[in-house]
Amino acid sequence: MTKAGLDALLTPENSVVVLIDHQPFQFANLHSHEPTIVANNVVGLAKAAKAFNVPTILTTVLEERGGYLIKALQDVFPDQKPIDRTFINTWEDPKVVDVVKKTGRKKLILAALWTEICLAMPAIQAAGEGYDVFAVTDASGGVTAEAHDMAVRRMVASGVTPITWLAVASEWQRDWAREATLPAFGDIFAHAGGSGIAFAWEMQLLGHKARAA
């Protein structure tokens, strides 16, 4: 497992994404982050995965009790039915693991609610089974700031790499000369807060100039 050098970075060809339990029940007790920020970030991550054709698995736990996946996230993959589980630890559910294994990819990108349970458990187990695991910390959250922080520290101690959603998308893009994905990347960037808003404004100004010409 490479942790430094060019091969340590993510590419669309070596990545697989699993998004875990972004459901109403989990959001209701999310206190490490502002819930709307986590929702925004996981949708940005999902849109990036779709734009770069990165295999993405959606999964829920006890959907009938915990609620459906949040609509904005499901809307990114409208035809994909999330894998519903009883296992708290996603990596103990063969339905999810088998899908990941079929991709043949070893850089595993995870985001989940809550960090200390539904992110840490599968991240630690998968890292021990030879996957290069990336935990997307700002598309995840815990019941307290301490719970989230302790979980990230625990995962790092187990060999998991913490990363943020825009860093994932940027590693996939890597080169502004890759024009095929630039339009989608621009849409994704709208989820990047102030920078995204400024970028959208620049696109508006450029659009006006193009029409004037």
- Catalytic site residues? 118
Quote the crossing angle between the two packed helices 35-51 and 165-173, to the nearest 10°: 20
- b/e sequence 104-113, b meaning 16+ C-beta within 10 Å: ebebbbbbbb
Residue (of 22, 106, 12) closest to 59 by Cα position: 22
